[in-house]
Structure 1
C-alpha cells in the first residue's frame, strides 16, 4: 500500500468528485479493470470523492459513461504537477535547487567537534591529537577515517585506554576512556637492596642495613647489595670469677634485627647496540600532493562522479574507502560509494657512501642503546666498531659499546618466618 502511494506521488494523482446513481457499480467496474482508487469518501447520496493516478483518468471516462456517471477534477497532486508549477516560476525553482545543493554541501562537512569521557586530559589536547589524523572543523566527512583518528589519539596520548569517534551529521563526537593509574605504595617492611642488573661495583653508601659488597666486586641481577638483616652481638652477663684452667670463653652469640635496607650502590654497567645501513638505497617519500576520485558502483558497474579515472602521477600510493548505503527494511541496497585517493610519491636513489652509511648505522645502534639506559645513567665511555662479515656486500654493520655508571639498587621485600617476626 505504501509503495503504491509512493509511486502515485511520483507519477502524479488527482482527486475526483464522482456524481451518479450507480456509484457502487462505478467503483466495482474500475476495480475489475485494474484501476486503483483510494481514499473513497461518500459526500452525498449521489456523490463520492476518490483519488486516482493520472494515467487512469482517461479510462475512467469510459466507465463513467457506462454507469451514467460524471466526475470533475478537484485537486491535482504529485511530482509532475509540482514540476509544471516550477517551470512557470523558474527563479523560484532555481533558488530551491540552489538551497538544497548548498544544504547538502554544508551537511557534508564537519562543523562541530565534541569530547566526552575525559577527566584529566583537556578537550584541546584530545582535539589536537585528532587533528593530526585529519579531524578538524571544515573537513569533508568522506575524508575522515574514524579508525585512524582513534589510533592517532591512543598513540599520542598514552593515558587514553580507549577512544571512539562517531560522526553524527555535521557533528563529530570523540569519546574516550582514560587509564586508571594505580600508584603502588612504597614497601615499608624489612627489605634487601639487590642489584637490578649485572655490573662492577664502583661505590657503596649504606644508609640503613649491612653492606654485602664492596668496590671492585662483580654482581649479577638479584645479588644482595645491602642486607636488611643486621646481626647484633649479644653481650653475656658479667662473670667476676676467672675461668677454670683449660676452659675457653664462650663463643659470641648474635641475634638478627630486620630493617629496610637503604643506600646508594653505583656500578659500572655495559650496554651493546647494533645498527646497519646500505651503501645505497631507494627511498620513497610522499610529496603531499594528491588527487581524489569519487565513484558509485551499482550492480558491478562503476560510475565516476568526479576526479580522475587513473592516477595522474608516475609514482603513487592508493588509499581507498568504500561505504555502502544503509539497509532499508532489511533490504540491502546494492550501491557502494567509493573514494579513491592517489598520493604522489617521489623515488630517490640515495648514495650514502662508506662514511655516511657508517654514521647512520652508528646512530641506529646508539638509539637502540639509549632505549635501554635509565634516566640517571652517566655515560663514561662509548666506542663503536664495524662488523666485518668477510663478505663483500652493500651493507655496513656497526656495533656500539657504552659504559655507564648508575645506581643499580632496587628494593626486594623480605619474607620473614613467624619465629623471625616474633
Structure 2
C-alpha cells in the first residue's frame, strides 16, 4: 500500500466526489476495468470520496454514466501538479533551489566546536590554539579531515597540560575531547621507609637517608628500613647534626605468600542435549540488529554461550562493529564424582591463575595437599623476591650517628 501511494504521488492523482443512487455498481465497474481506487469513503447518503491516479480520470466518466452517477473533480495531488505550479512561480522555485543548495553547502562546514575535558583558562587557551590551526566555525569538513592527525599532534605540542587529545566530526559539530594531565601532589619534606610485610632482607640500596637494616636481617611489618634522617657535618662547628630528608632507596626481601584452593569432590555438570538455538546478530556501536536464527530455544534447563568477532575497531569505542553468535544449549544436570586427578589439575590451575596477581619475581614453590570431608584442599607457598619498602611518617628517634 505504501508503494502504491509513492508511485501515485510521482505520477499524480486526483480526489473526486461521486454522486448517484448506484455507487456500488460504479465501484465494481471501475475496479473490474483495472483502475486502482483507494481511500474510498462515504461522505453522504449518495456521495463517495475516492482517490485515483490522474490518467484514469477520463476513463472513469464512462463508468459514472453507466451507473447513473455524476463525477466532480475535488482536488489534484502529486508531483506533476506541484511542478506546474512551481513553474508559474519562478521566484518561489528559485528560492527553494537556493534554500536547498544553502543547506547542502552548510552541511559541508563545521559550525560548532564543542570541547570536553578543559575548563577555565585552559579551555580558552585550547580555543586559541585550535583557531591558529584552522579549527574554527566555518572551516570545511573535508579540509579538517585531511589535517586531523596534524592538528592532534600540534595541540599536544602546544599544550603540555594535555595528556591526550582527540578530534571527531559529527555532522556540523567538531567534538574535541581532552584528558588533562594530573599533577602529582608535592613531595613531603621528609619521611621514612618501613617494611610492608615479613621477609628476609636480600638487598639494600640507599639513595637518600640512613639504612636501618642490612642484608640477612629478618623484618616484620612496620620495622624501619631507611630512616629519613641524615647525619651531616656542620661546617662551622664540625659537629654531626641530623638533617630530615625524604628517604629513598630499594629494600628487597625474600617473602613467602600462601594461596589456598578448595575443590569439591561432588559437583553438578550440564550434559548437552539435542535441542538448541543459535542466533546471529550484528552490533554497531550500542545498537544490536538480529540477523537470523537456527533451531528452537530451550524452555527449561539450558546453558548460554556467546562468541564475538570484531570486524572494525576505531579510535572511538562507540563505533565498534562486531558479529555476535549466541547459543542456547539444552542441558541435563547430573551429579558426578570427580577423580583425584581432576581435583588436583583443577586446584593447580586455580592456584596458577591467582599467582599472576601476586607481587614479586622468581622463587620456589611448595605444595601441600590435605583432605577435609568431601573437599580437597591445596596450599601453595610461593617464595619470591620483592621490594617491601613503604613510605611512613618520620620517626622522632633517628638511628645512632656514625662514629
State the TM bucket, normalised to the shorter chain: 0.3 to 0.5
TM-score by length of structure 1 reads 0.42
TM-score by length of structure 2 reads 0.44
